[in-house]
Amino acid sequence: MICFLLVAGCSSFNRDWKRAAVGPQMTNDVAGRWEGSWMSAKNGHNGRLRCLITPASENVYNARFRARFWKIFSFGYTAPLTVYRSNAVAHFTGEADLGKLAGGIYKYAGVIAGTNYYSTYESKYDYGHFRMGRVSEGEIKE
């Protein structure tokens, strides 16, 4: 049953990821597909990271992350990000409770400038950063 739920969650993300590739990509908005990596500054662990950002309200966006670790495991979760703009840069903060086994509450702070996404994260047991770039319509990375 647990395996089924993990696979279903992954396929749902992949379906939504592909669906978001269709249509115009607004480079001056934070919404869209992002891909890159995460790295723990505490222990050096790192992995692939994809994120699908969608508007939730005027200044709040839902960031749906899909992270890979140890090259074989993946984990998905959604974090609401509160965004404020300063010129062409979007600054954001947010937090998400990933559950006790995943480290509890993670807090995020970062910037999106053009096609670059940079964020720090910290929890009770870990801290590090995310670096991603916008994935354009023609780039389908699985």
Residue 97 within a domain: yes
Identify the CA nearest to 127 among candidates 113, 114, 115, 104.
104
pLDDT per residue as tens digits for the range 44-82: 999 999 999 999 999 999 999 998 877 778 888 999 999
pLDDT per residue as tens digits for the range 75-103: 889 999 999 999 889 999 999 999 988 88
Residue 45 within a domain: yes
Q: What pTM was estimated for this model as a whole?
A: 0.82
Whichever domain contains 126, its CATH number is: 2.40.128.120
Residue 10 within a domain: yes
CA distance 5 to 12: 10
pLDDT per residue as tens digits for the range 113-135: 989 999 999 999 999 999 999 99
What is the span of the domain harbouring residue 81?
Answer: 2-134
